[in-house]
Chains A and B, each alone.
Chain A
């Protein structure tokens, strides 16, 4: 898939509003999947739009009307009607417009800011209200399940999220171009059928970005998380640190650190244990165990490690990868060790055929 040659800054607003032509939108999606900088800018654009949408409508102050009236009086010929009748008619028109706009805004918001919630077990609560059968969750509201309750949230028109027992989850944004939840604690199972980057789940240690997938996301009371992907693939990102997690793989997350290094669920236990030490504790001795225990399929893990180890250790990771899979033509050892982004992307594309 071809990508934009430059960053998307000038096109992000149009992309969010769905105004890009289909072919350019696809190219933008491809670029976003590879560019952390543009993804961060995209989040800013979406945040700004969210803030604007939440601004309350208010009437213009009287002084504004007086100013307009004063200007009209200066430049237009005197009319036969008295000024007070003119002002009354104008005020009524403004009020009518505001009421109509408010009604339109309210009905549109109702349509897009509430998602259907179905109780699968027991009585889950939305905004402290128990749900029996079918209910709704609005933007800003929390859904909570007890030890014996479960719920299913219909995510707009693009899929569903099962809320497992003992879970707290908030609806952050509900728009056609952005569906966003925040998982405080517990577990969800997401099943999304949509183009990438329409569905997000925030946790204390990273945001899971749907790239077309099914996955389980668990977050405990301390903010420690585990993402397990069962179909498609997910990108999990936090503060410039990201991990690509395909089906059959998992990734741990920790607050203030973000996503760990992804690993396949059938990876040797030694490798998984050493990876946890490497990611979240003093990992200097763990790298040797990871490299020794890795298999051909674990190039997923090794590829991510390339940018997570120091320059002195990077050749060890590269050499181990090459034992499993020769780099494609155009990918040199020197470029990889320098963490050339295009080179790493190219190698990942080739490695993905073995994952």
Chain B
């Protein structure tokens, strides 16, 4: 009887595994999304360069976001840690304000961490604000090579 039970147990387990896998696969992947300040629906974002939100983070209490402004000014490579990333009243939504100078070319490197998951975004800044179409998103931290490539594209005007 115990053997029969064991057999049925293994059958049940085998039947459930695909379901469990499907459930896991359907869970939204942790990612970042950027938007114009109007998307924050809050006047505190009015003067922001852009706003961003996280998606797929089931544990907002463990959510951490950070950013650097990566730039080239007069041929010199610069990196500025961003301290004015303001959390909006809606959980997971943030406004990012300009902390880099007007001179040079700049790309904002955003990183979000939710428990063990990491997501990032490289957002080029143009003369009229952030360049949505040229922004790139990653399910991990952006690499140095990717940051340099984004700066190079911005410098050569191959970004929109």
What's the minimum C-beta distance from A105 to chain B, rounded to whole angstroms?
32
For residue B41, which residues in chain A have a CB less than 8 angstroms away from its CB? 1, 30, 33, 349, 352
Given contacts A1-B89, A1-B90, contact A352 B43 (CB under 8 A): no
Q: Is the CB of A355 within 8 A of B43?
A: no
For residue B36, which residues in chain A have a CB less than 8 angstroms away from its CB? 246-248, 352, 355
Whether A213 sits at the interface, judged by CB under 8 Å, is yes
Whether A268 sits at the interface, judged by CB under 8 Å, is no
Whether B67 sits at the interface, judged by CB under 8 Å, is no
Instruction: Compute the total of residue contacts between A and B using a CB distance below 8 Å.
Output: 57
Task: Report A311-355 CB contacts with B as 1/0, cut-off 8 Å.
Answer: 000000000000000000000000000000000000001001111
Given contacts A1-B89, A1-B90, contact A352 B46 (CB under 8 A): no
Q: How many residues of A contact B (CB 8 A)?
A: 24
Binding site secondary structure of chain A: mixed
Please pick, from A193, A196, A352, the residue contacting B39 in the complex, using a CB distance under 8 A: A352
Whether B66 sits at the interface, judged by CB under 8 Å, is no
Whether B143 sits at the interface, judged by CB under 8 Å, is no
**With A and B bound together, what is the CA distance between A200 and B89 in angstroms?**
25
For residue A211, which residues in chain B have a CB less than 8 angstroms away from its CB? 43, 46
For residue B90, which residues in chain A have a CB less than 8 angstroms away from its CB? 1
Whether A177 sits at the interface, judged by CB under 8 Å, is no
Whether B153 sits at the interface, judged by CB under 8 Å, is no
**With A and B bound together, what is the CA distance between A194 and B47 in angstroms?**
11
Whether A176 sits at the interface, judged by CB under 8 Å, is no
Q: Is the CB of A355 within 8 A of B35?
A: yes
Task: Report B73-92 CB contacts with A as 1/0, cut-off 8 Å.
Answer: 00000000000000001100
Q: Is the CB of B38 within 8 A of A355?
A: yes
For residue B47, which residues in chain A have a CB less than 8 angstroms away from its CB? 193, 212, 231-232
Q: Within residues 15 to 67 of chain B, which ones have a CB less than 8 A from any CB in chain A?
A: 33, 35-39, 41-47, 53
Residues of A at the B interface (CB closer than 8 Å) are 1, 26, 29-30, 33, 193-196, 211-213, 231-233, 244, 246-248, 349, 352-355
Q: Pick 23 A–B contacts, CB within 8 A, sort by A.
A: A1-B41, A1-B42, A193-B46, A193-B47, A194-B43, A195-B43, A212-B44, A212-B45, A212-B46, A213-B46, A231-B46, A231-B47, A232-B37, A232-B47, A233-B37, A233-B38, A244-B38, A246-B37, A247-B36, A247-B129, A352-B39, A353-B33, A354-B35
Q: A29-B43, A355-B35 are in contact. List 5 more A-B contacts (CB 8 A).
A: A1-B41, A231-B37, A232-B43, A233-B38, A244-B38
